[in-house]
Amino acid sequence: SSSAITYGIADLEKLDLPDATFDLAYSSLAFHYIVDLKGLFARIHQALVPGGRLVFSIEHPIFMAPRQPGWLIDEQGRKSWPVDSYQLQGPRVTNWLAEGVIKQHRTVGTLLTLLIQAGFTLTHVDEWGPSEADLKARPALAEELERPMMLLVAAHR
Ligand SMILES: C[S@@+](CC[C@H](N)C(=O)[O-])C[C@H]1O[C@@H](n2cnc3c(N)ncnc32)[C@H](O)[C@@H]1O
């Protein structure tokens, strides 16, 4: 263990952080569960030092939007992802790992504008997809060429 690291467990809906203290905030695949994302972005922004970075992944809105998230396969065996309900922002109930897990769908525009309005400068937005090398190593990743599952964002205060 290192005295340089303090671990804590907290509800991201009501996070309490000291002002202007952190160089980096990092989140992996958790922000799409947050109802008050505007409030969370404001608190993270305030907790970062000037120039401090926020780096996160979030389920891509195209992946999250549909009422029935799952592949449609046509007579030729081609896969497509049904992007219905994209403009209907709000809760999506899924049965992933547990029954009735509630996610919060927002459009790409809403998500990025929330960051901008919180005062962040966006530096990188990546709709992740597999590279040639990724496909060689793991052929099952090929379906990730059909639609983005994850959105990766880097920003700074
Ligand atoms: C898809 S998992 C990602 C886990 C891990 N970060 C990773 O990338 O493998 C989503 C995580 O978000 C957490 N989570 C959801 N809502 C939260 C909240 N309001 N406050 C804190 N954590 C939350 C869940 O407990 C869960 O661990």
State yes or no: pLDDT of 1 exceeds 70: no
- CATH code, domain with 119: 3.40.50.150
Residue-level pLDDT at 143 = 94
Residue 79 included in any domain: yes
- Flag whether 151 is in a domain: yes
Which residue bears the tokens 């009422």? Answer: 67
Separation between Cα atoms, residue 23 and residue 54, nearest integer Å:
9
Query: Ligand 1 center to residue 74 CA distance, Å?
Result: 35
How many Å apart are CA 71 and CA 59, to the nearest integer?
A: 16
As a whole number of angstroms, the distance between CA 140 and CA 135 comes to: 7
Q: Is 30 in the pocket of ligand 1 (CB under 6 A)?
A: yes
End-to-end CA distance of the chain: 30
Q: What residue type is assigned to position 1 of the chain? A: S
Domain range enclosing 46: 16-156
pLDDT of residue 72: 96
The one-letter amino acid code at 64 reads: M
Average pLDDT over residues 138-153: 97
CB-side neighbour CA atoms (13 Å) of 10? 10
pLDDT at 29: 97
What's the CA-to-centroid distance between 1 and ligand 1, angstroms? 23
Over residues 100-123, mean pLDDT: 97
The arithmetic mean of pLDDT across residues 57-61, rounded, is 98
Residue 144 lies in a domain: yes
Mutate-to-test residue for ligand 1 from 29, 59, 104, 128, highest number of ligand atoms within 8 A of CB: 29
Q: Which atom of ligand 1 is closest in space to residue 27's alpha carbon?
A: 6
Domain count, the chain: 1
